[in-house]
Amino acid sequence: MKLQISHETVYGYDQPIRNLVQSLRLTPSVFEGQKTHEWEIDVTGGMRGPGFRDGAGDWIEGWTVRGPVQEVTVRISGRVDTRDTAGVLRGHREMIHPLAYLRDTRPTRADDGLRDLAAQVGGSADLLDLSHKLSGAVADAIRYTNGSTHAATTAAEALALGEGVCQDHAHALIAVARERDLPARYVSGYLHSTQDGQSHDAAHAWAEIFVDGLGWVGFDAANRCCPDERYVRLGSGLDAQDAAPIRGVAMGTGTEKLAVAVRVEELAQ
């Protein structure tokens, strides 16, 4: 599938800020399932700093904006050719040992409810089958409801609420997988459409679980599937904050407002 992606993030401040420093994880991953073409990143008034590939295999760029400014726009555009690898992350080069992803964080820390959910899934010597069952259990326990939670909602809170968004499904799946001693991590990216063909012009998130013999395998509990050619992978981390496409620090006293617009279109073959 040939996908054209445009992604614009606008930061507005009610008072001018002196400086803005950002770390951008906005370049698609390099692996057998996708190939990137004509990818451009631009920050209005920004100066591009050094870039590097981190231990997880993600490309990170530093940008600096010197003020005073009251609005900063981050724009991304490009094309990605994708193919279905049944969710398996083949050909992705990274140096972090999978066992490092057994460590929990505040959003993914298991409470009694998550521990019970993990224990309810029948034991299986087939770790891929177990991973699929854990993903299905999370999908059954947390109903997808747009706007039902917020950025700081934890997996435990979403489970107690019984509803959430893709971030919550990913955090909950990570939590229950780690409870079953399966390394798991959060993945950020884009999704072209849902399985019924409905447009899904937004950033998306899912989880990856490390399965011995296969490596990292993606599971999108929110859509009850593994990532296929409709997905574009950007990067990963222990949780949503760790894997955030944009992280930064603004120097000033102004209140920040954020507006995001993402469009993912399929191009003619």
Stretch among 39-48, 152-161, 209-218, 245-254 having the lowest mean pLDDT:
245-254
Identify the pLDDT of residue 253: 83
Q: How many CB atoms lie within 10 A of CB 13?
A: 20
Residues with Cβ within 8 Å of residue 50, at least 6 apart in sequence: 61, 62
Ordered by where they begin, the domains of the chain are 2-80+246-266 (2.60.40.2250), 85-237 (3.10.620.30)
Nearest to 231 by CA among 206, 210, 251: 206
DSSP state of 28: P
Residues with Cβ within 8 Å of residue 192, at least 6 apart in sequence: 1, 3, 200, 230, 231, 232, 264, 265, 266
Residue 123, token pair as written in the block: 């034991």
pTM of the model as a whole:
0.94
- Helix, coil or strand: residue 194: coil
DSSP state of 121: S
pLDDT digits (tens, 9 = 90+) for 95-138: 999 999 999 999 999 999 999 999 999 877 899 999 999 999 99
222: phi then psi, degrees, rounded to nearest 5: -60, -30
Identify the pLDDT of residue 196: 54
By the 10 Å C-beta count (0-12 exposed, 13-18 middle, 19+ buried), 88 is classed as buried
Please give the Cα distance from 53 to 75 (Å, whole number). 21
- Helix, coil or strand: residue 92: coil
DSSP state of 149: S
Query: Does residue 16 contact residue 68 with C-beta atoms inside 8 Å?
Result: yes
- What is the mean pLDDT of the segment spanning 180-186? 97
Radius of gyration of the chain (CA): 19
